[in-house]
Amino acid sequence: MENSVAGDLPILSLLALFRSPASILLLNLLVAAVRCDIPTTLDGPFEPVTVPFDLNLRGIAVDLPDTDPRVRRLVQGFEPEQISVSLSVSHDSVWISWITGEFQIGDNIKPLDPKAVSSLVYYGTSEDELVHEARGHSLIYNQLYPFEGLQNYTSGIIHHVQLKGLEPSTIYYYQCGDSSLEAMSDIYHFKTMPVSSPRSYPDRIAIVGDLGLTYNTTTTIHHLINNKPDLFLLIGDVTYANLYLTNGTGSDCYSCSFPETPIHETYQPRWDYWGRFMQNLVSKVPMMVVEGNHEIEQQAFNRTFVAYSSRFAFPSEESGSSSTFYYSFNAGGIHFIMLGAYIGYDKSAEQYKWLQRDLASVDRSITPWLIATWHPPWYSSYVAHYREAECMRVEMEELLYSHGVDIVFNGHVHAYERSNRVYNYSLDPCGPVHISVGDGGNREKMSVPFADEPGKCPDPSTTPDSYMGGFCATNFTSGPAKGKFCWDRQPEFSAFRESSFGHGILEVKNETWALWTWYRNQDTGNKVGDQIYIVRQLDLCPVHLQMMKPSRFMWGISS
């Protein structure tokens, strides 16, 4: 299937003229009839499809070495490096982050003083006139081990500066650093998100999980950049620094390679290598990150997730969250909810209470699309991590469903899978489409076996993740897999699955239509691995209407 989006635009633009449910239904049917080469969720549910695994894809998941010029430190003194942009809750604000000074690793480390270097950004709408100035805060973090022989780490100085009062859909140029030390960056640029409205959306949103820093990763990022995204979502498992000992020795399988270590070590310089490699993309395209299990990185005093929480800027406070593990933001007419699977998520937990408040505050007449992300999938048919996040699903699925979440993106499983619309393991035209994109190219290689293959069903006792909580994945009580822990064929909720590295692009066209495209690393150009229009059916799912506030956009009333 080739991407032929241009042909859709005249028809899709008609949806902006008719806002009643009946009109939307008629136009949905019209578009579905015309766009016969690209399937839509209106055509579903689909019969499950499995693309056979290509054996030629094995054996190339090798990390970039520290000698690779793409991960070497190229700046001097306190000049900025690892520069990135991230969003705040709305279009009028972004965060600029960077690092100054060198990290240290060894037995005798001496942390840098964050107060020694200013956090300053000059910016404006012209490269020649950076007339605005913003100041922020800085910090360092340490990765410490209470065991002899393990090397400790202290970071360079991490800077986070928030720019405010920005215009929507506008290119801004910026330069960061400390002018008093003559330690300023080159001039970079980014484009702000469109204003939140049912008529305005980012052109392309790139989505991938489990990225790492392998030669596969470089292919993923190269293809992703060529697709020219306006926003980049990274759904957990960033660097895989915790596949290394503190002496820099790495492995594809930590648990089977380092049985003598007294604690799960991590080699923090891999974070710096990753930040340098990614700067070419994320200094221009805003990146939003949610934590994965490889970010746990336990250290002295049982501290965890320190690198993750320190290196990235999150709109947590702006979105009413007290944690870097969960937050929300708007990108045009989309409300994104980023959830944490490795922090309390049960109904008594603060995250759940925050989620209730956040969902209740969403005005679907302004942000019609509601998209949720977290790291481990609820719906996956692969052996890897099979039903591992079942406790989280039991606690949270009803809440997300009742508020009409449209799409869920996950990682964790190193392959690709797209579901039919599903709720509580049953096909449901009002349930979200779940898409697993843990196929970024990490060192642990890809997931291949399926739980429904003969002899592949995991022992239920092996499925819970000890860090995520208790055991909730029991045998199915209804449906085609009743009385079984696994299906004996590809589950009906699984519409398409393929073991391959790649990335996805989401293009929201209007308040009811969005094009999802998945690209495989082994392909070139614009060849498509999987593609579908995801259509919100307001006529069929009145829950969406109940959660939407009437507006002139929805009912066709002119201002």
Catalytic residue list = 385
Q: CA 118 to CA 180: how far, in whole Å? A: 8
Find the helix or strand (DSSP H, E) in which 99 lies.
strand 94-100
Q: From the CB of residue 462, how many other CB atoms can be counted at a distance below 10 Å?
A: 8
Element (H, E) at 279: helix 269-282
HSE, CB side, 13 Å, CA atoms: give it for residue 162.
16
Short-list 518, 530, 445, CA closest to 216 = 445
Q: What's the CA gap between 87 and 323, in Å, rounded?
A: 16
Could you tell me which of 171, 192, 174 has the C-alpha nearest to residue 80? 174
Q: Which of 415, 413, 411, 71 is nearest to 214 (CA)?
A: 71
Q: Which amino acid is at 503?
A: H
CA angle (69 as vertex; 68, 74 as ends), nearest 5: 135
Is 16 in a helix, a strand, or coil? coil
The number of angstroms, rounded, from the C-alpha of 312 to the middle of its chain's C-alpha atoms is: 13
Expressed in percent and rounded to 5, the helix, strand and coil fractions of the chain are 20, 25, 55
Tokens of 13: 């633009």
The three-state secondary structure class of 440 is coil
C-alpha span between 222 and 521 (Å, rounded): 9
Angle (deg, nearest 10), helices 390-402 and 350-361: 20
Closest CA to 470 of 394, 391, 358: 391
Q: Is 460 helix (H, G, I), strand (E, B) or coil?
A: helix
